[in-house]
């Protein structure tokens, strides 16, 4: 028990030090741009999902949809912000989470004069491209990996393996389709038809989102949206991105589109404040929180029955 308390205290101390460093860095940046920032930097890093942030101070191994929506809203409400620069490095994620971020960006386009520019890093594929397609302009590196426009549902059948080790499974369910995508048997034809219809509908929504966000017709897009990936150069030739360049090229494009004179002043809206993540430690179950956080950091993130883009 004493060892657990020592470990928990050490973990809390490390978290506090990390948060303090992050806050000090953010404070210094805020002082430089306070009252004068005109470009909101929004980072979309890692797998996109609706999963809660795994760290007690809002840090996460992926791109949390609710956090990103909140960041976009704060940037939209800041009177000085003329543009949002999305820095995307993501292989995609769940369909609903990607769609939610896209819709918030499109709401910003419709309700304000804020310009949205996407800067693609190593990867901005599938759900990463879904988010990028809400931008007025997409900048990619020549070797960025993008595209992968499509939807997928995966399952595994481990019944043969279980038979070898002598494990038997038993399922009690309310209806014949409740255990759809069970890993303990083959997928039935009627189940496959249901899943295909869900995938097809989500895929159609994906296509319509790209058409709405970009200057491309459904007829042009459909042949490109078979799940294949493209380099930035290939994507530009296919009208999936608008120009080639790195983050600083994207920043210059942002200044041009938003009609910002002089050097653009950037504020990183993705940085959290010092006290933003204290909630878990101030709750009545604070002693259990560090271990729960550690478990969340190490658990497998694959979610059954999730539409992945």
Domains of the chain listed by start with CATH number: 37-272 (3.90.226.10)
The pLDDT, as a whole number, for residue 18 is: 60
The percent of residues in the chain predicted with pLDDT above 70, rounded, is 74
Beta partners for 118? 86, 138
Is the entire prediction scored with pTM above 0.85?
no
Q: How many CB atoms lie within 10 A of CB 130?
A: 28
- pLDDT attached to residue 33: 43
**164 counts as catalytic:** no
Quote the DSSP letter at residue 263.
S
What are the CA-CA distances from residue 151 to residues 180, 209, 219, 234, 294 (Å)?
Answer: 18, 14, 19, 21, 31
- The Cβ of residue 264 has, within 10 Å, a number of other Cβ atoms equal to 18
Give me the pLDDT at residue 159, please. 87
Active site residue 178: yes
Indicate the average pLDDT of the chain: 83
Surface-to-core class of residue 89, CB atoms within 10 Å of its CB (0-12 exposed, 13-18 middle, 19+ buried): middle
Q: What is the pLDDT of residue 16?
A: 66
Question: Tens digits of per-residue pLDDT, 128-177?
Answer: 999 999 999 999 999 999 999 999 998 888 989 988 999 988 889 999 99
Summarised one tens digit per residue, pLDDT across range 167-208 is 988 889 999 999 898 888 899 999 999 999 999 999 999 999
Kindly report, residue by residue over 259-307, the tens digit of the pLDDT: 998 899 999 998 754 444 444 333 333 344 444 444 444 443 444 455 6
Bridge partner list, 145: 123, 231
Catalytic, out of 49, 60, 126, 133: 126
Angle 154-159-164 (CA atoms, 0-180°, nearest 5)?
Answer: 140
Active-site residue, from 178, 188, 222, 259: 178
Residue 92 near residue 59 (C-beta atoms within 8 A): no
């Amino acid at each position: 028990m004493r060892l657990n308390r020592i470990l928990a205290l050490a973990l809390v101390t490390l978290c506090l030090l990390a948060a303090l460093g992050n806050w000090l860095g953010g404070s210094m940046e805020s002082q430089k741009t306070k009252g004068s920032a005109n470009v909101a930097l929004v980072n979309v890093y890692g797998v996109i999902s609706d999963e809660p942030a795994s760290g007690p101070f809002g840090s996460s191994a992926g791109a949390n949809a609710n956090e990103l929506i909140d960041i976009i809203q704060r940037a939209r409400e800041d009177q000085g912000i003329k543009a949002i620069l999305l820095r995307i490095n993501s292989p995609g994620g769940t369909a609903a989470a990607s769609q939610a971020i896209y819709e918030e960006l499109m709401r910003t386009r419709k309700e304000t004069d804020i310009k949205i520019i996407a800067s693609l890093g190593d990867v901005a594929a599938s759900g990463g491209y879904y988010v990028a397609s809400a931008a007025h302009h997409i900048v990619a590196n020549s070797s960025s990996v993008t595209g992968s426009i499509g939807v997928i549902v995966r399952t595994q059948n481990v019944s043969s393996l279980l038979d070898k080790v002598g494990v038997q499974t038993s399922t009690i369910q309310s209806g014949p389709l409740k255990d759809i995508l069970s890993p303990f048997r083959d997928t039935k034809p009627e189940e496959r038809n249901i899943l295909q219809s869900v995938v097809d509908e989500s895929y159609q929504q994906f296509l319509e989102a790209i058409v709405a966000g970009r200057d491309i017709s459904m007829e042009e897009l459909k042949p490109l949206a078979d799940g294949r990936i493209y380099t930035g150069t290939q994507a530009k030739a296919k009208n999936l991105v608008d120009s080639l360049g790195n983050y600083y090229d994207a920043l210059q494009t942002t200044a041009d589109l938003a009609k910002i004179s002089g050097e653009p002043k950037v504020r990183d809206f993705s940085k959290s404040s010092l006290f933003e993540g204290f909630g878990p430690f101030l709750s009545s179950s604070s002693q259990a929180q560090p271990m729960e956080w550690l478990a969340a950091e190490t658990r497998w993130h694959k979610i059954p029955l999730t539409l992945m883009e």
